[in-house]
């Protein structure tokens, strides 16, 4: 096998990012152990799909996602649609024996997320969920330091994902503002990345959550033209009610009574991408911020107190994932590079016959946390994560 044929469903921004990632992975990693071929793309209608095929380099387009899933020549189904379509497409792809790369959140609720995960595992399907922030090589170094006890036992965790991509009230209504399609608001959209960071770094699971969700902008103009979300889109005079959260504040308790908190916003004016975490340990700490996305700050409780402080570590080619792009440290990998690493890891997992990382089960466990937060907000209490889902 020299290549795997990809069928993409959803040709918006994320579909474009996935398509670029497959093409770049072939260059960065030499097409080994296998390369991806962009075969067919489907979207909301044939016109959009045809345009996407021409612009993104797919060999052909399809009128409907079912054509893609049912095509015997397709090896991979790549799902970058709005959230409410993930389940039906993925379950059909599993039944057809296709490997699946799906954007997060996995589905709109924990029950269907676990149903997808269990169906894929039973069928021997390799899956991958788009949590590309944890594919940054820095995050594997951070996890290694925690696992090896460099900061002692974890005593507190702080995570954040604050942005302002929906801060303007004139940005038109999109599927992200509709609970029936998105499942949730910021807690499931960017909040899922916060939970993914935690699960990637900390061995102990989150056991309880207390969450407050807020809708800051209660209505938005109907878009003048139907289509994907865009900050530059024009809205009409009719206003539509928003029923998904804009701001989330979460307290967490994890194994052994250790605590932490997370904050998420899509209306935090002036904060383009305030993404990161602080992991405090009994003997040190780690700090990461997305505006220095190739760096990790490490504090160790050693040496004279007056000279202690955070040490800045820059990622470099000692990690083969970084080395696939750059031969020296300090050049800096970015968002799309992490997407390439994710796509390459998916291809390698398929060839090895192993689960991807993060796979559908990882995605379902993140969705369990999202659902627990939503229940906590609805009932105004601490919720045990075990209360939700199968």
Contact between residue 80 and residue 129 where contact means Cβ atoms under 8 Å apart: no
Per-residue pLDDT averaged across 47-52, rounded?
95
Statement: residue 230 has pLDDT above 80: no
pLDDT at residue 390 in the model: 86
Report DSSP state, residue 194. Answer: H
Instruction: Provide the token pair at 298.
Output: 């490490």
pLDDT at residue 237 in the model: 79
Give exposure, 124-150, as e/b (b: 16+ Cβ within 10 Å): ebbbbbbbbbbbbbbbbbbbebbeeeb
pLDDT at residue 389 in the model: 87
Q: What is the pLDDT of residues 277-330, one digit of tens each?
A: 999 999 999 999 999 999 999 999 888 888 889 999 999 999 999 999 999 998
pTM above 0.75, yes or no: yes
Per-residue pLDDT averaged across 127-146, rounded?
97
Choice among 42-51, 66-75, 233-242 with the minimum mean pLDDT: 233-242
Contact between residue 300 and residue 288 where contact means Cβ atoms under 8 Å apart: no
pLDDT at residue 307 in the model: 84
The whole-chain average pLDDT of the chain stands at: 95
For residue 344, which of 12, 28, 14 has the smallest C-alpha distance?
28
Per-residue pLDDT averaged across 353-361, rounded?
97
pLDDT at residue 300 in the model: 94
């Amino acid at each position: 096998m020299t290549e795997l044929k990809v069928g993409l469903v959803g040709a918006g921004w994320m579909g474009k990012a996935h398509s670029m990632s497959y093409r770049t992975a072939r260059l960065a990693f030499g097409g080994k152990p296998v390369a991806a071929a962009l075969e067919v793309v489907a979207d909301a209608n044939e016109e959009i799909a045809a345009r996407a095929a021409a612009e993104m380099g797919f060999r052909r387009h399809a009128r409907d996602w079912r054509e893609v899933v049912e095509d015997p020549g397709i090896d991979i189904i790549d799902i970058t649609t709005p959230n409410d379509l993930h389940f039906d497409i993925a379950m059909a792809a599993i039944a057809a024996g296709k490997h699946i790369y799906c954007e997060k959140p996995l589905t709109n609720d924990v029950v269907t997320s676990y149903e997808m995960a269990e169906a894929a595992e039973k069928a021997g399907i390799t899956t991958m969920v788009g949590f590309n922030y944890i594919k940054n090589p820095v995050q594997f170094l951070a996890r290694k330091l925690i696992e090896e006890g460099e900061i002692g036992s974890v005593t507190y965790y702080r995570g954040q994902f604050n942005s302002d991509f929906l801060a303007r009230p004139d940005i038109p209504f999109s599927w992200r503002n509709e609970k029936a399609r998105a499942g949730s608001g910021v807690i499931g959209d960017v909040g899922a990345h916060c939970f993914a960071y935690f699960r990637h770094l900390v061995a102990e699971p989150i056991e309880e959550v207390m969450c407050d969700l807020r809708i800051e902008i209660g209505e938005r103009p109907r878009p003048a033209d139907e289509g994907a979300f865009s900050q530059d889109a024009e809205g009409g005079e009719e206003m539509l009610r928003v029923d998904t959260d804009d701001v989330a504040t979460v307290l967490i308790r994890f194994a052994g009574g250790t605590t932490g908190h997370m904050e998420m916003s899509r209306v935090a004016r002036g904060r383009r991408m305030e993404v990161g975490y602080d992991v405090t340990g009994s003997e040190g700490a780690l700090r990461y911020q997305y505006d220095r996305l190739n760096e990790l700050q490490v504090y160790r409780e050693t040496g004279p107190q007056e000279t202690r402080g955070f040490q800045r570590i820059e990622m470099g080619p000692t990690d083969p994932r970084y080395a696939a792009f750059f031969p020296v440290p300090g050049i800096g990998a970015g968002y799309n590079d992490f997407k390439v690493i994710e796509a390459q890891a998916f291809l390698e997992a398929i060839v090895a016959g192993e689960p991807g990382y993060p796979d559908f089960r990882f995605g379902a466990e993140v969705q369990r946390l999202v659902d627990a937060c939503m229940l906590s907000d609805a009932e105004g209490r601490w919720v045990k994560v075990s209360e939700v889902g199968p």
